[in-house]
């Protein structure tokens, strides 16, 4: 149940950081006089900090008649507080390119932020202010009720198989109201909520002694403790309401329910069985987690899991007992659920008696490597520490889990299988049908308040408080790294970073003219290579991940390997890069293009138009592989806690047989102007894209980056007219995005705007025709300083983990930039003058000479008449 604020990033800018020591020195604990717990987990070398506040209140505390209220209240906590009214909570987040969100689960609600270290005190201040004095108004309540109703509609009603397994499986697994009721609730019943309900809920559960504050990042624990004492310390202590009794009598016969839904291609069956209580039997719980992974490793021929498994509705160790092991499978519509449940029970029985040592070893490898990788990120680590503390009073369990998983024996997993084989289960089925059916909301009666029982949120006597200023942001420094070019022409870089025994790897290949002309061929190639990679990694059983994807411009091989499994991972990569027999017809690629975004459709169309048709078609997919999968023009990034020189040597040795020159890129020659239309009846809002090649002799990248911020990337600049995230170019306040990327073989600047059909003509008159005027207006000094600071901070999100460092270094490498770009960008942003910004804005965005792309449900003749330009309709895009 997320409530999120969007983060932004520029496609050209990336950074790295000194990583000499990113070890986890431990968890520093303090408890304030009012009962608030503080956990600080330093992570050396990061440029941002993560803050999480966990409250011991989830939807299982909701009384009858108030189903869904805990989630609604989470939304309300973002609306305003005494010192940050009317949505001002997000100011420090959006001004620093940070992120903030919240979620409601069974037994806790979490609020978390990731901000530059300079904004850490502001983040803590904002959390303290809403813990001290939230502001609830009828207007805010009405607005959030509408938002929650929309979320329920999107997540449950409009989504295929919506509500499966959560929240509907809970009613089959449990009998008590606390465990069985729908935590989303019914929007109509939620409308009965009052402001007094909000005050009561806050008074009962949102107390300092019922909360844990967690901070991770390159922070001083004593300094963080001083901030927390300063802003949280004077919040009055209050007793929290007791937690509900979650005791369940259990069930001894299978519980089943079947529903229908039109338009789905297969029957979905979810089977649920109770898990051991991790608070009293952690070893047994983890044995079931390993067993679930053993089941998930039963793969289909394309390398995907035949059965989807989950320990808990929201993941392992995410709730107090009772929680459930859930298995979901898609089967042909005529398959009876009893047949599938019987097959799973049979498998449990076989594993309870046979030798499953290899299966358990492979499953443990996967679980351990995933755990290491996921929690080497400051946000994920922060949230997990707070969650484990609020649920089990054991945050340190996070760092113990890899060893605890490794201690799970095949005998323990066999006992878990035997337990499930003989236990009753809950089974939910959704099958194709003429109408959509689901459990009807159980409207329960609310208990009345005692006549003398009233609740109000006390107003702090000292009134609103001033937001603390931001501190100085430490300068990021590129750490230990090595760049080289392998003998086969592959450009490579290795960066030492992280503390986990995991290596992040990113191999990026340009699709080249062959792929740019035929995105359907690229999608098919990515699909087939991805399948080969999944099957290969599964066979090695060493953990890790390798995915293959394309965005039309690039073919990306991304993933990670355990340090002790790197050779196996590289062997799989080598197999994928080596030509092999592929029987899939090229025509299959068209069906794989159906999920493209409007922006991707526009770019695919423009690339095909600029390059023109190919002189000859490939004979088959193997020909496409031989043409595209070559080291010439490609780049490889490796990030991990390893010596960069030795790491590169291992990589080169594994890939030395991979050979092939880069595809020659023809010069793009296209008439200026014109409008290209890709009709799409399924898109009622129309996407318009204006593009321009960046002049090779124009301003440097730093000035162009800053000009992009001034023209629309930063929310407080002069181009903003409406909500954050829109550029507001022109009085209509268009939703728009300005960006720069590499397009075929040249750097491109572009503006993308999404508007209803009737407003599309204004996009041309108010944006395209006015670009010379809009770009030539000089920014005032205050505007430029704010944008400059934002652009500096915007870079830092990619330093939160080795995985993100690898992603950003890959982007920079894609543009042919070396490691020297990193410090140059940071240092030069402070030196760019207003005149340089104007020069960059005019040369980069002042004219958009490439053909304009229009994608959506719009007629070419109508658009041509309205904008008085020739419109060419494209086919086959």
CA neighbor of 339 nearest in space, from 418, 415, 271:
271
Compute CA distances 767 → 254, 260, 690, 761, whole Å: 63, 48, 10, 10
Residue 21 predicted with pLDDT over 80: no
Hey, is 322 helix, strand or coil? coil
- Per-domain residue ranges of the chain: 28-232, 255-371+395-432, 481-655, 675-873
Per residue in 380-409, pLDDT (tens digit) is: 999 999 999 999 999 999 999 999 999 999
Distance CA 210, CA 56 (A): 6
Compute CA distances 755 → 46, 483, 678, 768, whole Å: 39, 44, 15, 14
Residue 18 predicted with pLDDT over 50: no
How high is the pLDDT of residue 460?
Answer: 78
Residue 636 predicted with pLDDT over 90: yes
What is the residue whose two structure tokens read 């990248």? 701
Q: What is the CA radius of gyration of the chain?
A: 28
Task: Indicate the fold that domain 255-371+395-432 takes in CATH.
Answer: Cytochrome Bc1 Complex; Chain A, domain 1 (3.30.830)
pLDDT band, very low/low/confident/very high, at 725 (cuts 50, 70, 90): very low
Distance CA 490, CA 557 (A): 14
Residue 211 predicted with pLDDT over 80: yes
Residue 825 predicted with pLDDT over 70: yes
163-191: average pLDDT: 95
pLDDT band, very low/low/confident/very high, at 105 (cuts 50, 70, 90): very high
Per residue in 538-551, pLDDT (tens digit) is: 999 889 999 999 99
Per residue in 288-314, pLDDT (tens digit) is: 999 999 999 998 887 788 899 999 999
Q: Is 220 exposed, middle or buried (0-12, 13-18, 19+ CB in 10 A)?
A: exposed
What is the residue whose two structure tokens read 């027999």? 581
412-421: average pLDDT: 98
How high is the pLDDT of residue 820?
Answer: 64
How high is the pLDDT of residue 822?
Answer: 65
How high is the pLDDT of residue 767?
Answer: 86
Q: Which helix (H) or strand (E) holds 499?
A: none
Task: Indicate the fold that domain 28-232 takes in CATH.
Answer: Cytochrome Bc1 Complex; Chain A, domain 1 (3.30.830)
Distance CA 32, CA 97 (A): 31
How high is the pLDDT of residue 730?
Answer: 44
Distance CA 394, CA 279 (A): 10
Distance CA 260, CA 267 (A): 9
pLDDT band, very low/low/confident/very high, at 736 (cuts 50, 70, 90): confident
Distance CA 624, CA 620 (A): 7
Task: Indicate the fold that domain 675-873 takes in CATH.
Answer: Cytochrome Bc1 Complex; Chain A, domain 1 (3.30.830)
How close are the terminal C-alpha atoms of the chain, in Å? 36
How high is the pLDDT of residue 420?
Answer: 98
How high is the pLDDT of residue 19?
Answer: 33
Predicted model pTM: 0.93
Q: Is the dihedral of CA 161, 163, 168, 169 positive or negative?
A: positive
In this structure, the number of other CB atoms found within 10 A of the CB of residue 661 comes to 11
What is the residue whose two structure tokens read 């829109």? 726
Distance CA 462, CA 466 (A): 11
- What six digits make up the tokens of 830? 């402070």
Q: Which helix (H) or strand (E) holds 260?
A: strand 255-261
Distance CA 169, CA 166 (A): 6
Residue 675 predicted with pLDDT over 60: yes
Per residue in 54-94, pLDDT (tens digit) is: 999 999 999 999 999 999 999 999 999 999 999 999 999 99
Per residue in 515-561, pLDDT (tens digit) is: 999 999 999 999 999 999 999 999 998 899 999 999 999 999 999 99
Hey, is 751 helix, strand or coil? strand
- What six digits make up the tokens of 189? 């019943």
Residue 23 predicted with pLDDT over 90: no
- DSSP secondary structure string for all residues of 606-645: HHHHHH---SS--SSHHHHHHHH--STT-EEEEEESS-HH
pLDDT band, very low/low/confident/very high, at 824 (cuts 50, 70, 90): confident
Three-state secondary structure readout of 268-286? EEEEEEECCCCCCCHHHHH
Q: Are 745 and 760 in contact (CB under 8 A)?
A: no
CA neighbor of 793 nearest in space, from 94, 67, 122:
94
How high is the pLDDT of residue 443?
Answer: 66
Residue 732 predicted with pLDDT over 60: no
Q: Please give the distance of CA 456 from its chain centroid, rounded to a whole number.
A: 38
Class of 481-655 in CATH: alpha beta
Residue 646 predicted with pLDDT over 50: yes
Compute CA distances 447 → 64, 240, 505, 572, 813, whole Å: 7, 19, 57, 61, 62
How high is the pLDDT of residue 446?
Answer: 81
Question: What percent of the chain shows pLDDT beyond 90?
Answer: 77
How high is the pLDDT of residue 735?
Answer: 67
């Amino acid at each position: 149940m997320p409530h999120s604020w969007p983060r932004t990033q520029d496609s050209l800018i990336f950074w790295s950081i000194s990583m000499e020591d990113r070890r986890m020195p431990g968890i520093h604990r303090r408890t304030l006089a009012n009962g608030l717990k503080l956990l600080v987990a330093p992570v050396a070398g990061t440029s941002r900090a993560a803050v999480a506040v966990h409250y011991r209140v989830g939807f299982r505390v909701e009384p009858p008649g108030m189903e869904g209220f805990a989630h609604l209240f989470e939304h309300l906590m973002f609306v305003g507080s005494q010192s940050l009214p009317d949505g001002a909570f997000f100011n420090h987040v959006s001004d620093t390119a940070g992120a903030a969100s919240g979620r409601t689960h069974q037994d806790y609600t979490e609020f978390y932020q990731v901000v530059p270290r300079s904004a850490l005190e502001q983040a803590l201040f904002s959390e303290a202010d809403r813990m001290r004095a939230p502001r609830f108004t009828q207007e805010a309540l009405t607005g959030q009720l509408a938002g929650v109703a929309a979320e329920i509609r999107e997540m449950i009603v409009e989504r295929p198989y919506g509500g499966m397994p959560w929240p509907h499986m809970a009613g089959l697994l449990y009998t008590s109201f606390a465990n069985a009721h729908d935590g989303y609730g019914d929007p109509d019943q939620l409308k009965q909520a009052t402001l007094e309900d909000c005050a009561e809920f806050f008074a009962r559960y949102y107390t300092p002694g019922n909360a844990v504050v967690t901070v991770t990042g390159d922070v001083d624990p004593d300094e963080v403790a001083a901030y927390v004492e300063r802003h949280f310390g004077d919040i009055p202590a209050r007793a929290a309401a007791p937690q509900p009794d979650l005791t369940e009598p259990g069930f001894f016969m299978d519980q089943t329910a079947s529903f229908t839904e039109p338009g789905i291609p297969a029957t979905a069956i979810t089977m649920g069985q109770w898990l051991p209580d991790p608070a009293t039997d952690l070893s047994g719980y983890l044995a079931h987690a390993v067993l679930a992974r053993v089941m998930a490793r039963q793969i289909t021929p394309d390398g995907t899991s035949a059965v989807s498994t989950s320990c808990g509705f929201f993941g392992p160790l995410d709730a107090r007992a009772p929680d459930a092991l859930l298995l979901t499978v898609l089967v042909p519509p005529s398959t009876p659920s009893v047949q599938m449940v019987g097959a799973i029970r049979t498998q449990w029985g076989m594993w309870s008696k046979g030798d499953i040592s290899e299966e358990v070893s492979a499953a443990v490898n996967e679980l351990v490597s995933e755990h290491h990788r996921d929690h080497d990120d400051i946000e994920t680590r922060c949230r997990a520490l707070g969650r484990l503390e609020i649920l089990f009073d054991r945050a340190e369990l996070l760092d113990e889990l890899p060893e605890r998983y490794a201690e799970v024996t095949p005998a323990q997993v066999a006992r878990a299988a035997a337990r499930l084989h003989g236990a009753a289960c809950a089974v939910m089925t959704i099958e194709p049908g003429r109408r959509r059916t689901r459990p009807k909301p159980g409207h329960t009666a609310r208990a009345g308040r005692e006549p003398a029982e009233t609740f109000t949120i006390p107003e702090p006597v000292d009134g609103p408080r001033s937001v603390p200023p931001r501190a100085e942001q430490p300068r990021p420094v590129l750490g230990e790294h090595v760049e080289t070019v392998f003998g086969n022409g592959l450009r490579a870089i290795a960066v030492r970073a992280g503390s986990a025994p995991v290596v992040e790897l990113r191999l990026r290949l340009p699709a080249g003219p062959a792929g740019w002309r035929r995105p359907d061929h690229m999608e098919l190639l990515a699909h087939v290579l991805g399948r080969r990679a999944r099957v290969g990694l599964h066979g090695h059983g060493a953990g890790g991940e390798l995915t293959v994807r394309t965005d039309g411009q690039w073919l990306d091989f991304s993933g990670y390997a355990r340090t002790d499994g790197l050779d196996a991972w590289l062997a799989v990569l080598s197999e994928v890069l080596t030509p092999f027999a592929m029987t899939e017809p090229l025509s299959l690629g068209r069906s794989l293009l159906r999920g493209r975004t409007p922006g991707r459709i526009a770019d695919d169309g423009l690339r095909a138009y600029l390059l023109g048709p190919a002189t000859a078609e490939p004979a088959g997919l193997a020909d496409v592989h031989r043409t595209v999968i070559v080291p010439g023009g490609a780049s490889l990034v490796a990030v991990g806690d390893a010596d960069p020189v030795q790491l590169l040597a291992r990589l080169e040795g594994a890939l030395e047989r991979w050979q092939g020159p880069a595809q020659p890129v023809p010069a793009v020659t296209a008439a200026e102007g014109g409008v290209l239309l890709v009709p799409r009846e399924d898109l009622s809002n129309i996407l318009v894209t204006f593009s321009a090649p960046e002049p090779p002799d124009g301003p440097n990248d730093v000035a162009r980056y800053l000009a992009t911020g001034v023209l629309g990337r930063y929310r407080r600049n002069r181009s903003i007219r409406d909500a954050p995230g829109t550029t507001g170019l022109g009085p209509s306040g268009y939703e728009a995005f300005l960006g720069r990327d590499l397009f075929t073989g040249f750097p491109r600047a572009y503006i993308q705007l999404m508007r209803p059909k009737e407003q599309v003509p204004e996009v041309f008159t108010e944006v395209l025709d006015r670009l010379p005027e809009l770009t030539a207006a000089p920014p005032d000094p205050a505007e430029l300083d704010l944008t400059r600071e934002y652009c500096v901070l915007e870079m830092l999100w990619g330093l939160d983990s080795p995985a993100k460092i690898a992603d950003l270094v890959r982007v920079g490498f894609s543009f042919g930039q070396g490691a020297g770009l990193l410090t140059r960008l940071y240092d030069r942003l402070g030196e760019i003058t207003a005149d340089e910004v104007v020069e960059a804005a005019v040369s980069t965005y002042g004219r958009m000479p490439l053909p304009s792309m229009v994608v959506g449900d719009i007629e070419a003749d109508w658009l041509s008449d309205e904008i008085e330009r020739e419109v060419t309709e494209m086919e086959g895009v």
